Amino acid sequence: MRTRGGNCLTGLLGARTFPPLAVDYGGRSMKLNRPFAAGLALTLAVSACGATKTGTATSKPHGGGAGAASGPVVKVVDILDESRAENILLPQAHDGVNARMDRINADGGLGQAHARVELEFCITDLDPNKTLACARNAIADKSVIAVAGSFSTAGETAQLFATAGLPNVPAAGFLPDTFTASSTFNVNSGVLFLAGVGSLACMDGHSNLKELRNGAAASAQASALVSGALKSYGCSGLKQSIDVPLTATDVSSEVTAAISGSDGVTLDLVPSLNQQVFRARQQLGIKVPFFGTTASFTSQTLGSLGSAANGAQVVGWYPTSDVSSPGNTAFLDDLKAIDKSSSASDIARASWVAMDLTAAAAKNLKTPTRSALLDALRGVSSYDAGGMLPNLDFSKPGPDASFPRIVDLTVAPALVQNGQLLANPAHRGFLPIFKG
């Protein structure tokens, strides 16, 4: 193994502290205590480090024409963990929520009031104090009717929103309060999707698994989550977890160790390490199956790997672009309309769906206030984002009492083939993360 000097991923993964995770598997059910933010680095790393410095702090309504929104302007705040100083940016998060906002405004506006949506991004600089300031400013501004599309792990804000009666529809939930706060409406499984690699591997017939993971404190917690999912499906937990230093430049020894005595390898790696692992797999002629997450396969990583990652099975929050559904078609059309088709990804989908749920709940509102919207969201009993999600019911708690605000405990399996993420023909539809 060779290593190089530190980079922004080292700081991103290594500088934060995470609450401990205890996983108790009791036969037919899975109980998780103290949700954690291990997915922070995995999600941000998708497009953060080395990203092009683009994006703005505010986004005014676009579009126009005969069918355009003609009513009052309402604000939606989107809190994002970005830092220009660290070159940590999430352009796909901007693009997804902007694309759906533009469609709302072009198609008559929000609700029966035909309100025009103005989107305000609040950037945290990865600072908990700035995150809390974003939340408090949103609460204080009575023209803000919702917080939607956020990717935020720098500070717990969901309970503040609940106390203030402000609807919160994050792009993904990472911190404990997003799983429990009464005004939060999660549009996917959030950080819990990390466990889906175990679910998929077990469903695919592999029970003697090792893991390659980021060499960071949070990774041990993610490993426990994967083992818990494996056990819920009747498989053994991970046989071994092998840490890969974030600064590694040669991972062949770790890859060799991972395949020794195993019938499959799960991956919890940032994209740069993920790329090295599949290069090594190809060079070593390895046939053992690998299982990972869509977050580790950026468009740049996929393009660089080409056929080197062929056959890798992955899980994500949403079906891939080749899956035909009304929601996927609308999502891709909306990105195309703002000239951001290249941003199609789970991050962009999550941001788009967060704004889509907000619009769907507000459809019949005569007056778009935060209290009216909150009541409307609580009344949504059937929502699937046009087939991008299983049918979700926000009118009652989720299936796991530990996570009452997580109503979707599934992942969408996919397959890597020739530089693309495609539908997995062996595992179509949505896969429960925990069985029982």
250 and 308 belong to one structural domain: yes
Give the pLDDT score at 371: 98
27 and 102 belong to one structural domain: no
76 and 8 belong to one structural domain: no
240 SS3 class: strand
177 and 69 belong to one structural domain: yes
158 and 63 belong to one structural domain: yes
277 and 420 belong to one structural domain: yes
Residue 50 lies in a domain: no
Distance CA 200, CA 431 (A): 8
Residue 68 lies in a domain: yes
Per the structure, how many domains does the chain have? Answer: 2
Residue 218 lies in a domain: yes
156 SS3 class: coil
Residue 52 lies in a domain: no
What pTM was estimated for this model as a whole?
A: 0.89
63 and 173 belong to one structural domain: yes
422 and 301 belong to one structural domain: yes
151 and 220 belong to one structural domain: no
Q: Which domain holds residue 92?
A: 58-189+324-399
| Per-residue confidence in pLDDT tens, the chain, 436 aa | 555 444 443 334 433 444 444 444 334 344 443 334 434 444 344 444 434 333 334 454 444 444 789 999 999 999 999 988 888 889 999 999 999 999 999 999 999 999 999 999 999 998 999 999 999 999 999 999 999 999 988 778 999 999 999 999 999 998 889 999 999 999 999 989 999 999 999 999 999 999 999 887 667 888 999 999 999 999 999 999 999 998 899 999 999 999 999 999 999 998 889 999 999 999 999 999 999 999 888 888 899 999 999 999 999 999 999 999 999 999 999 999 999 999 999 999 999 999 999 999 999 999 999 999 999 999 999 999 999 999 999 999 999 888 899 999 999 999 999 999 999 999 999 999 999 7
Residue 402, judged by CB atoms within 10 A of its CB (0-12, 13-18, 19+), counts as: middle
Residue 268 lies in a domain: yes
CB 178 within 8 A of CB 148: no
Residues 6+ apart with CB under 8 A from 115: 69, 71, 72, 73, 74, 109, 368
Give the pLDDT score at 1: 57
Give the CATH number of the domain where residue 417 resides.
Answer: 3.40.50.2300
181 and 196 belong to one structural domain: no
> What letter would DSSP give residue 263?
S
Give the pLDDT score at 318: 98
Give the pLDDT score at 84: 87
Residue 312 lies in a domain: yes
Distance CA 379, CA 193 (A): 26
3-state helix/strand/coil string of 181-199: CCCECCCCCHHHHHHHHHH
Phi and psi for 130 in degrees, rounded to 5? -70, -35
Give the pLDDT score at 219: 78
268 and 329 belong to one structural domain: no
Distance CA 274, CA 278 (A): 6
Residue 144 lies in a domain: yes
Q: H helices of 233-314, where?
A: 252-259, 271-283, 299-305
Residue 262 lies in a domain: yes
Six-digit token string for 100 = 């759906």
308 and 197 belong to one structural domain: yes
